[in-house]
């Protein structure tokens, strides 16, 4: 593993923090050793920072994005829509950019600039497609440590993320406890459940059933598996919302009509909404990336990695954890966060656990949830106080 | 509506009750008026009976099947698998064929013999395809009353069904209270929820995205939208099981391998299982029927039919209801059965309500659930006692 290998050029990216982002070549001296056995490098990591890194390089928060997220949680370029964590990150917000230096990188295998199946394979000069190696959550995290090396950040103040971001945050804290002061896994799990693997498999089969997918070579064939990817997104999108939220938002209301049409048009608002979710997703996401990233989530299993005893993953961890779940999240239900908390308790780790009452389902981690925000503010303030004590105690 | 019109030939089908089933032409004198405004007739109804109709024609139970069911709940022909309610129907079983005459018909729009989109449109001599009129649950029930006329059954002892079968049972009892002594809606709802419409829409989009669907004309084109229909089935199948059941049955166990393959094969048992569910479904079900029947469920809304007050549907009903739900059913959760029960109570109707404790999800209504079976036995016995009292009181 090359996570401790220095990358070729150490340039802290402290230019205008609200620009459109950076891209850095990593793994140039030593390639990244992936779990599948392949060595990858050099590879590009696209990332974004918000706020200013302090002189001690001690105020960095790594934000890990979810399946279809990107490195632009705030002010995405070429978009008039807010970023996916626009509510969370910024001056005076829970991840306060007046205090913290927030880093967010597109994951390995992604399609927003970091090397993934849609990028060019230098060995062939053609898009990777299915020749791209299958990556894991641990691989994503290894790549992130190379980025931190590049930014000269030895230790994160905090690593945080929701959904797949929670998997990365957990993996980061478990693999690199010495580089992690605090960890906030939100709406996550220590292993991907059978039901969630099943939903991912449906999405993958929908993509691969589309003839325009061309066995993964659609970029070379000049096609796009639009319909398959849209179906995958539609199925997934249902799982991000709760039944009560769907009922509240749409119920059985009709779309621009007074009566049903006795046909297969989108009579109901919820159908129209889903179709819109599917068709707009295709414009911003790569179908092969969807295959790779869902597979990385399926493979995530911290429990089996530690011989079936999750507490061993946290043995003697110095990391302060705050585990967050949402009552109406049925994709990553509270029971799965509780499994993490029980293991942390069994390891006598420093952990707080909050289940937020909401009817908004899994997507609650992206939405305006005042109690959730208050919890994060409180936890980060508490960590900040401790961190200062630690720093002064060690004289650093 | 023609439900009271006598059909051309009244031939009670009391031949060997365990044969492969019957088909009868209905709507020959008067076509069936559908909710969409179209008149359909004559049409074929494929059905099956078990047990013997008594001399008074007073022991008939109409069993209504679910979305992908058929008229063969017991001993399906040309199959070495048991019927979908093999556990429920037979001598000594809850629907005891030593006592009751059990009728089950393939629904209108189905693909097991009853007229539906895969049958020949007599007007054109070609398969109906998308020219088949969009049908509703009420249409299915109207067609069933014509079958009962044909069998010379004025009044059912009981109408019973799970899932879409529960919708039909409810609709039957509400539309024809004078023809219904008892009604057992199992794992059902008075209206299809936004979440369930959403899942159906995903399935329909998966089918229609398959180029082999050919705009609905695949039978004429000699193709089959196998991959689209398989994806639809896979997505739906997840909703029939509970998360705990998936965890218990499959967990994260691998399929015929010791380690993950870092690829997109079915590494996990749950993936292999889902793929099998998808591919075998295609051999037994018609893709257009899937569109039509899911649409009928989406359109089902007894609440709006009664101006938003469900209790009005049950005003002065003489029908005895037994409403059944299952704790781990998240597709038709207990709250949706409770809505029916509350409305029945508000109409001062005769209703019992049982929520069965099980981890098997929506599919529990098809499985060996001893408490569920005991409830049905008890309810039917009680109804039987009352029915005899009623019959002797009225001197009939």
Active site residue A392: no
b/e A181-194 (16+ beta carbons within 10 angstroms → b): bbbbbbbbbbbbbb
Chain A residues in contact with B299 (beta carbon < 8 A): 260
Q: In terms of pLDDT, which residue wins out, A101 or B392?
A: A101
| Residues facing residue B324 across a β-bridge | B186, B354
CA angle, residues B341, B344, B345, in degrees to nearest 5? 85
Is residue A230 within 8 angstroms of chain B, CB to CB? yes
SS3 A151: coil
Say what the pLDDT of residue B10 is: 39
Each residue of B136-191: pLDDT tens digit? 999 999 999 999 999 999 999 999 999 999 999 999 999 999 999 999 999 999 99
Q: Do A249 and B194 touch (CB under 8 A)?
A: yes
Say what the pLDDT of residue A14 is: 44
Is residue A291 within 8 angstroms of chain B, CB to CB? yes
**Residue of chain A nearest B290, judged by CA positions:** A264
Report the C-alpha gap between B228 and A208 in whole angstroms.
Answer: 10
Chain B residues in contact with A263 (beta carbon < 8 A): 134
Q: Which CATH class is domain A22-192+300-393?
A: alpha beta
Each residue of A139-168: pLDDT tens digit? 999 999 999 999 999 999 999 999 999 999
Question: Across all residues in chain A, what is the average pLDDT?
Answer: 94
Q: Do B199 and A238 touch (CB under 8 A)?
A: yes
SS3 B365: helix
Catalytic residue among A70, A210, A267, A329: A329
Q: Which of B191, B198, B202 sits opposite A231 (nearest CB)?
A: B202
Say what the pLDDT of residue B12 is: 42
pLDDT of residue A3 exceeding 50, the answer is no
| Low-confidence residues of chain B: pLDDT under 50 | 1-17, 396
The domain segmentation of chain B, as residue ranges, is 22-192+299-393, 195-296
How many CA atoms, within 13 angstroms, populate the side-chain half-sphere of residue A28?
13
Which one, of A188, A270, A209, lies nearest residue B197 by Cα? A270
Say what the pLDDT of residue A19 is: 66
> CB-based contacts of A350: which residues, under 8 Å, 6+ apart?
A319, A320, A321
Which one, of A163, A169, A143, lies nearest residue A46 by Cα? A143
**Residue A394 pLDDT class (50, 70, 90 cuts):** low
| Neighbouring C-beta atoms of residue B308, cutoff 10 Å | 9
Residues A172, A141 contacting (CB under 8 angstroms)? yes
Each residue of A75-96: pLDDT tens digit? 999 888 999 999 999 999 999 9
The two structure tokens encoding residue A390 = 């630690």
Long-range contacts of A259-266 (CB under 8 A, 24+ apart): A260/B299, A262/B35, A262/B36, A262/B37, A262/B133, A262/B134, A263/B134, A264/B130, A264/B134, A264/B204, A264/B208, A264/B291, A264/B295, A266/B201
What fold, for B22-192+299-393? Rossmann fold (3.40.50)
The two structure tokens encoding residue A374 = 């208050």
Residue in the block written with tokens 């050919």: B214
Interface test with A, best of B231, B266, B305, B328 (most A CBs within 10 A): B231
Each residue of A173-182: pLDDT tens digit? 999 999 999 9
Sign of CA dihedral A295, A296, A297, A299: positive
Chain A residues in contact with B246 (beta carbon < 8 A): 193-195, 198
Which one, of A307, A384, A339, lies nearest residue A96 by Cα? A384
pLDDT of residue A333 exceeding 90, the answer is yes
Active site residue A98: no
Report the C-alpha gap between A188 and A163 in whole angstroms.
Answer: 5
The two structure tokens encoding residue A150 = 């590049």
Touching A: B residues 356-395, CB under 8 Å:
none
Is residue B262 within 8 angstroms of chain A, CB to CB? yes
> CB-based contacts of B265: which residues, under 8 Å, 6+ apart?
none
Nearest chain A CA: its distance from B199 CA (Å):
7
Q: Do A291 and B36 touch (CB under 8 A)?
A: no
How many CA atoms, within 13 angstroms, populate the side-chain half-sphere of residue B189?
21
Say what the pLDDT of residue B395 is: 52
Q: Do B243 and A194 touch (CB under 8 A)?
A: yes
Chain A residues in contact with B205 (beta carbon < 8 A): 227, 230-231, 234, 275, 278
Q: Which of A198, A243, A271 sits opposite B201 (nearest CB)?
A: A271
Say what the pLDDT of residue A389 is: 78
φ, ψ at A356 (rounded to 5°):
-90, 130
- For residue B209, how far is the Cα from the chain centroid? 26
Nearest chain B CA: its distance from A194 CA (Å):
5
Q: Residue count of chain A, please give it.
A: 396
SS3 B241: coil
Q: Do B278 and A195 touch (CB under 8 A)?
A: no
Touching B: A residues 167-226, CB under 8 Å:
191-195, 197-199, 201-202, 204-206, 208-211
Burial class of B322 by CB neighbour count within 10 A (0 to 12, 13 to 18, 19+): buried
Which one, of B55, B32, B34, lies nearest residue B101 by Cα? B55
pLDDT of residue A13 exceeding 60, the answer is no
Sign of CA dihedral A66, A228, B208, B240: negative
**Could you tell me which CATH number the domain at A195-296 has?**
1.10.1740.110
Is residue A330 within 8 angstroms of chain B, CB to CB? yes
Interface test with B, best of A231, A272, A305, A336 (most B CBs within 10 A): A231
Report the C-alpha gap between A269 and A267 in whole angstroms.
Answer: 7
């Amino acid at each position: 593993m090359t996570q401790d290998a220095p990358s070729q050029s150490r340039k802290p990216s402290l230019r205008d923090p609200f620009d459109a982002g950076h891209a850095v070549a990593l793994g140039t001296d030593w390639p990244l050793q992936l779990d599948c056995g392949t060595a990858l490098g050099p590879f590009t990591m696209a990332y974004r920072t918000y706020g200013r890194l302090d002189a001690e390089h001690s105020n960095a928060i790594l934000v890990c994005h979810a399946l279809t997220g990107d490195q632009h949680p705030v002010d995405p370029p070429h978009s008039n829509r807010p970023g996916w964590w626009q509510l969370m990150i910024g001056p005076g917000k829970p991840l306060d950019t007046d205090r913290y230096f927030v880093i967010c990188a597109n994951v390995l295998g992604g399609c927003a600039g970091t090397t993934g199946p849609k990028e060019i394979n230098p060995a062939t000069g053609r898009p990777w497609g299915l020749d791209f190696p299958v990556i894991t959550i641990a691989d994503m995290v290894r790549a992130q440590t190379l980025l931190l090396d590049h930014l000269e950040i030895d230790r994160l103040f905090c690593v945080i993320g929701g959904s797949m971001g929670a998997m990365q945050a957990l993996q980061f804290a478990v693999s690199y406890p010495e580089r992690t002061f605090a960890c906030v896994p939100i709406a996550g799990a220590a292993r991907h459940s059978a039901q969630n693997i099943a939903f991912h498999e449906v999405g993958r089969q929908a993509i691969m059933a589309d003839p325009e997918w061309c066995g993964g070579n659609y970029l070379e064939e000049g096609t796009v598996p639009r319909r398959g990817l849209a179906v995958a997104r539609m199925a997934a999108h249902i799982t991000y919302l709760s039944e009560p939220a769907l009922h509240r938002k749409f119920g059985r209301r009709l779309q621009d009509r007074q009566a049903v049409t006795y046909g297969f048009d989108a009579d109901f608002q919820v159908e129209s909404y889903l179709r819109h979710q599917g068709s707009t997703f295709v414009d911003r996401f790569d179908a092969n990336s969807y295959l790779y990233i869902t597979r990385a989530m399926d493979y995530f299993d911290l429990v089996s990695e530690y011989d079936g005893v999750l507490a061993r993953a946290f043995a003697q961890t110095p990391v302060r954890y705050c585990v967050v779940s949402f009552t109406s999240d049925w994709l990553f239900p509270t029971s799965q966060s509780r499994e993490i908390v029980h293991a942390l308790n069994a390891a006598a780790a420093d952990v707080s656990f909050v289940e937020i009452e909401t009817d908004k389902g899994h997507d609650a981690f992206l939405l305006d949830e005042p109690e959730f925000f208050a919890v994060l503010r409180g936890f980060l303030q508490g960590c900040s106080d401790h961190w200062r004590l630690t720093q002064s105690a060690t004289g650093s």
